[in-house]
């Protein structure tokens, strides 16, 4: 583990820290009194990019009037990304897995078509006006 996040103020810490430098709370890494976040528990899906079909699992940090601050990685807790509310959805592992599987299938199909096109291009010969047409 390369770092943890203070549960009080969401400051990024190295695991060897005795206390959070931002808020001063003691760092407890294990047990019921744990004061750090050491893994990301997604609770929503976000659609970040216009024109994309990419859904990303994220954890909501703060809900505003029109935007949501969310983290897609543990380190983003310190500087969460801002996403419009209409692009934040309930976490659904089935939907996420299905979309990811279809995206992987599409990528594999495009790669296969690219290879087939390349094989046809290899049959092209330079133009020679004296050679008969085949």
pLDDT digits (tens, 9 = 90+) for 25-64: 888 888 888 888 888 889 999 998 988 889 999 999 999 9
Instruction: Based on the fold, state whether residues 46 and 87 are members of the same structural domain.
Output: yes
The pLDDT value recorded for residue 39 is 83
Instruction: Based on the fold, state whether residues 58 and 100 are members of the same structural domain.
Output: no
Confidence tier at 133 by pLDDT (50, 70, 90): low
* Residue-level length of the chain: 134
Helix%, strand%, coil% for the chain, nearest 5: 25, 25, 50
Average pLDDT over residues 67-94: 93
Instruction: Based on the fold, state whether residues 68 and 98 are members of the same structural domain.
Output: no
Q: Which domain holds residue 32?
A: 1-38
Instruction: Based on the fold, state whether residues 51 and 78 are members of the same structural domain.
Output: yes
Inside any domain, residue 129: no
Inside any domain, residue 134: no
């Amino acid at each position: 583990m390369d770092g943890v996040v203070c549960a009080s103020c969401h400051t990024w810490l190295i695991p060897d820290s005795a206390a959070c430098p931002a808020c001063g709370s003691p760092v407890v890494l294990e047990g019921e009194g744990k004061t750090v976040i050491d893994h990301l528990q997604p609770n929503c899906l976000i659609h970040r990019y216009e024109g994309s079909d990419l859904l990303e699992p994220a954890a909501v940090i703060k809900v505003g009037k029109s935007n949501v601050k969310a983290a897609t990685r543990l380190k983003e807790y310190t500087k969460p990304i801002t996403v419009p509310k209409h692009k934040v959805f309930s976490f659904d592992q089935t939907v996420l897995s299905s979309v990811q599987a279809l995206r992987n299938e599409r990528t594999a199909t495009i790669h296969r078509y690219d290879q087939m096109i390349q094989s046809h291009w290899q049959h092209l010969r330079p133009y020679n006006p004296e050679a008969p047409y085949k």
